[in-house]
């Protein structure tokens, strides 16, 4: 259009609305220069209801966009300057006095006043930043500073020249947000477009109201949003109006081709400030009150301007296009599902805008982008020897995670650290599958035993909704062991069996088999590795027996288990009368794990190498009475570098012990009664450096805090067990256990747990 043509405000009833623009000059590199504070990680806020005062509800729009939820986090617009490019302002209004920047100016009439002759600019300014002073209403960003730029030549008309000057002035006036509640039917010309692009390149976000002509397309400058002719870097928004129920305002222009950069905001009967002196009778604002309602997209747009100011205070490291993207992607969808030409992205939603967007990450480097781990994947499942270690770490619960826009949030990282639950494992008595053991002896001293199962049938629902039981898996091999024995040598191969089956326990006695899960106390290294494959060879040399064993854990991707191997050398010295003593040395190599602990994401470790030193004995005390005992010391070296939350590990020392006593022939010739007491493997000494990100600076440096933490559990578990078994015939036996755990899981003051189990075995 010709530069001499003016643009008249769209007036509808008491509504003056056509457009608004947000100019954000607070890009991350400039936040310190503009006086914005460093971003504080979001903490537990005050109740949002604390801010729901009569002054708050005077403009229903504040509640509709969820502004109280931002206030509850401590953001009110402080430190942010909003340029109001409009018809001026009433500088004496009680809700606006003291908020107006001394740099405010009249660009249409140099040296002229900034007074508002028709009330439009005053109404818009109140929606953006009216003071919270207990009277009337307050604005969205009630602590923001208002840079007033009066740009109308007369009675609400704006020329492209004055608007071009206004945009340029707001850039040099230090405005973080620019509001343009105005518009017209045609592009504003090359000079305006050049100023627009200059503002964008400077770091501005331009948001303009769609207009009040009930048109299918927005007016200008809103139509520049998404305009392919200019490279606005996604920094221009268009804003349409809805009523208090979220219904499309009949006067509002639709989003049209700007749909991907278009929002809705409250714009019908919005209560705000008006001048206290005589105003334009055409508009209809009275002179007896300081407040009035008005409708129009001019009223919708300042809600978005205030929202942007709140986000800038709360997250000053956001880039301008990120502010736009957050407001768009967190809007409440209206109308047809998804982005549409009527409502665009939907209704402005500040409650959603302050929540994390996208995948959360834990920063592990010195700056944003310097290495990270996803929050969901950052877990530490401590093995049973660690008990409740780290459960009292306050530093973990001060950790900061970043969302997709690198906004810092306090996260309860302590909840990502769990301990293994200690139990009697009696669920193994009721296996999901029916297991049978088959064995046979072959010539040459070879024996073969295997366990097979007929898996439980699974239920499925047919199309006729009848329950059908199907079993398509057939028999499964659950374990295979092949052994060859000569006079002095035994060689054994195991496939898909438990570690203690292959590695053995207390050679020369079957007393350990009387008890339930004796390896917890009598061979704890065997409980830290799952089922797999292995071999062993033992050779008797006089009164001594030397055994070499190796076991490789079968990888279990479904369980998230890493690979682990254990090797062992044991020397047993036998004495007359049946007594023996065994010294063994074992090494356990774990990949991605340590002492049965699983660490991932920010807690990830390369692995661990553990050494176990065990001394065990078998002592016959009298006819049919035997004592067994074992003591184990462990020393682990954990490999973890400085890119994880836990690093600089000391060597981890742990210990376990157990003593048992068994008597045969208690009630009959073929029964046994025994008692076992001991401590499962428990960490006795372990330290590591816990380094946690706790904040972020405006230049996106990550600030951390470190402390040396102990990973020793608070308590000491002692297990007691009374066991009895008896043979009821050649093919049938019964076993029973009564068990108690004191301070289960090595947790101090934990209530004792009790267990009772019985198993009946028969062969047929």
Backbone φ, ψ for residue 597 (5° rounding) = -90, 145
From the list 31, 35, 61, the residue with the least C-alpha distance to 347 is: 61
Q: CB within 8 A of 279, min separation 6: which ones?
A: 116, 117, 118, 119, 285, 287
The CB density around residue 487, as the number of other CB atoms within 10 Å, is 6
Classified as helix, coil or strand, 50 is helix
The CB density around residue 341, as the number of other CB atoms within 10 Å, is 16
Give CA–CA dist 718/677, Å, rounded. 7
* Strand residue runs (E) in 623-752: 625-639, 646-647, 652-664, 671-685, 687-696, 702-710, 718-727, 732-742
Q: What are the structure tokens assigned to 328, written together?
A: 């768009």
Q: What are the structure tokens assigned to 275, written together?
A: 């001048």
Q: CB within 8 A of 201, min separation 6: which ones?
A: none
Residue ranges of the alpha helices (H) in 241-282?
none
Give CA–CA dist 207/222, Å, rounded. 7
Give CA–CA dist 579/576, Å, rounded. 7
Q: Which of 69, 86, 123, 165 is catalytic?
A: 86
Catalytic, 86? Answer yes
Using DSSP bridges, classify how beta strands 152-154 and 157-158 pair: parallel, antiparallel or unpaired: antiparallel
Q: Evaluate whether 206 touches 231 at the Cβ level (below 8 Å).
A: no
- Reading across the β-sheet that carries 593-594, which strands appear in turn? 417-419, 379-382, 597-600, 593-594
Q: What are the structure tokens assigned to 271, written together?
A: 């209560």
Q: CB within 8 A of 144, min separation 6: which ones?
A: 76, 77, 78, 80, 81, 82, 99, 128, 129, 177, 306, 309
Give CA–CA dist 236/263, Å, rounded. 11
Give CA–CA dist 351/757, Å, rounded. 54
Helix axes 297-314, 320-329, angle to 10 degrees: 120
Give CA–CA dist 471/672, Å, rounded. 40
Altogether, the residues listed in the chain come to a count of: 764
What is the SS3 string spanning 392-443?
CCCCHHHCEEECCCCCEEECCHHHHEEECCCCCCHHHHCCCCEEEEEEEEEC
Q: What are the structure tokens assigned to 454, written together?
A: 């007929």
From the list 283, 286, 247, the residue with the least C-alpha distance to 268 is: 247
Give CA–CA dist 255/248, Å, rounded. 11
Give CA–CA dist 551/553, Å, rounded. 7
Classified as helix, coil or strand, 210 is coil
* Strand residue runs (E) in 210-320: 236-242, 262-266, 270-273, 291-294
Backbone φ, ψ for residue 694 (5° rounding) = -125, -10
* Strand residue runs (E) in 60-101: 81-86
Q: Which of 93, 120, 176, 746 is catalytic?
A: 120
Q: Evaluate whether 570 touches 556 at the Cβ level (below 8 Å).
A: no
Q: Which of 101, 298, 381, 531 is catalytic?
A: 298
What are residue 570's DSSP bridge partners? Answer: 547, 584
Cite the active site residues: 86, 120, 298
């Amino acid at each position: 259009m010709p530069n001499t043509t003016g643009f008249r405000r769209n007036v509808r009833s008491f509504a003056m609305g056509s457009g608004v623009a947000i100019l954000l000059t607070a890009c991350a590199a400039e936040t310190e220069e503009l006086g914005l504070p460093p971003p504080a990680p979001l903490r537990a806020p005050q109740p949002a209801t604390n801010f729901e005062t009569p002054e708050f509800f005077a403009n229903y729009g504040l509640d509709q966009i969820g502004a109280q939820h931002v206030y509850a986090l401590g953001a009110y617009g402080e430190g942010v300057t909003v340029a109001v490019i409009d018809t001026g302002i009433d500088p004496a209004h009680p809700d606006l006095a003291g908020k107006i920047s001394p740099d405010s100016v009249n660009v249409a009439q140099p040296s002229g006043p900034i007074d508002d002759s028709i009330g439009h600019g005053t109404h818009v300014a109140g929606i953006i930043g009216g003071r919270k002073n207990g009277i009337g209403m307050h604005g969205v960003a009630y602590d923001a500073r208002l840079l007033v730029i009066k740009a109308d030549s007369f009675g609400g008309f704006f020329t492209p020249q004055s608007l071009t000057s206004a945009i340029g002035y707001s850039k040099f006036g230090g405005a973080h947000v620019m509001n343009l509640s105005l518009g017209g039917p045609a592009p504003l010309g090359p000079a305006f477009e050049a100023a627009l692009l200059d503002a964008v390149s400077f770091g501005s976000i331009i948001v303009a109201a769609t207009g009040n002509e009930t048109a299918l397309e927005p007016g200008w400058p809103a139509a520049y949003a998404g305009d392919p002719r200019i490279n606005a870097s996604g920094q221009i928004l268009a804003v349409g109006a809805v009523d208090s129920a979220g219904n499309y305002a009949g006067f509002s222009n639709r989003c049209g081709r700007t749909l991907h950069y278009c929002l809705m905001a409250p714009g019908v009967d919005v209560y705000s400030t008006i001048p206290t002196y005589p105003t334009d009778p055409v508009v209809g604002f009275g002179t007896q009150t300081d407040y009035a309602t008005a409708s129009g997209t001019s009223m919708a747009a300042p809600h978005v301007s205030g929202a942007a100011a709140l986000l800038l205070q709360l997250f000053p490291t956001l880039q301008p296009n990120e502010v736009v993207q957050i407001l768009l992607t967190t809007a409440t969808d209206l109308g047809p599902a998804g982005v549409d030409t009527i409502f665009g992205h939907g209704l402005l939603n500040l409650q959603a805008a302050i929540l994390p967007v996208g995948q959360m990450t834990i920063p592990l480097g010195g700056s944003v982008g310097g290495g990270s781990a996803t929050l969901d994947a950052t877990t530490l499942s401590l093995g049973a020897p660690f008990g409740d270690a780290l459960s009292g770490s306050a530093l973990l619960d001060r950790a900061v995670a970043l969302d997709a826009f690198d906004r810092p949030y306090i996260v309860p990282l302590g909840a990502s650290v769990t301990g293994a639950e200690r139990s009697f494992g009696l669920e193994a008595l009721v296996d999901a599958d029916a297991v049978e053991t088959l064995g046979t002896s072959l010539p040459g001293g070879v024996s073969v035993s295997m366990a097979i199962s007929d898996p439980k049938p699974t239920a499925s629902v047919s199309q006729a909704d009848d329950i059908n039981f199907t079993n398509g898996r057939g028999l499964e091999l659950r374990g295979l062991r092949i052994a060859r024995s000569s006079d002095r040598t035994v060689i054994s191969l195991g496939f898909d069996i438990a570690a203690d089956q292959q590695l053995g326990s207390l050679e020369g006695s079957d007393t350990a088999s009387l008890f339930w899960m004796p390896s917890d106390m009598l061979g704890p290294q065997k409980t830290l590795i799952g089922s797999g494959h292995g071999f062993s060879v033992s050779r008797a040399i006089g009164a001594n027996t030397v055994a070499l064993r190796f076991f490789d854990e079968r990888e279990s991707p479904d369980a998230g288990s890493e690979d682990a191997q254990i090797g062992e050398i044991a020397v047993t010295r036998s004495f007359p009368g049946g007594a023996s003593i065994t010294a063994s040395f074992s090494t356990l190599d774990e990949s991605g794990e340590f002492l049965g602990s699983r660490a991932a994401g920010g807690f990830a470790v390369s692995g661990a190498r553990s050494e176990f030193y065990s001394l065990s004995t078998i002592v016959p005390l009298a006819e049919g009475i035997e004592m067994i005992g074992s003591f184990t010391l462990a020393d682990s070296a954990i490999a973890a570098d400085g890119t994880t939350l836990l690093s600089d590990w000391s060597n981890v020392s742990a210990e376990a012990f157990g003593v048992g006593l068994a008597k045969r022939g208690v009630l009959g010739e073929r029964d046994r009664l025994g008692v076992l007491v001991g401590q499962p493997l428990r960490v006795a000494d372990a330290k590591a450096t816990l380094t946690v990100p706790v904040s972020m600076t405006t230049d996106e440096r990550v600030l951390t805090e470190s402390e040396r933490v102990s990973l020793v559990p608070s308590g000491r578990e002692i297990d007691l067990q009374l066991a009895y078994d008896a043979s009821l015939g050649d093919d049938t036996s019964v076993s029973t256990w009564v068990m108690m755990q004191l301070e289960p899981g090595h947790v101090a003051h934990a209530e004792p747990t009790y267990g009772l189990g019985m198993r009946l075995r028969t062969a047929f």
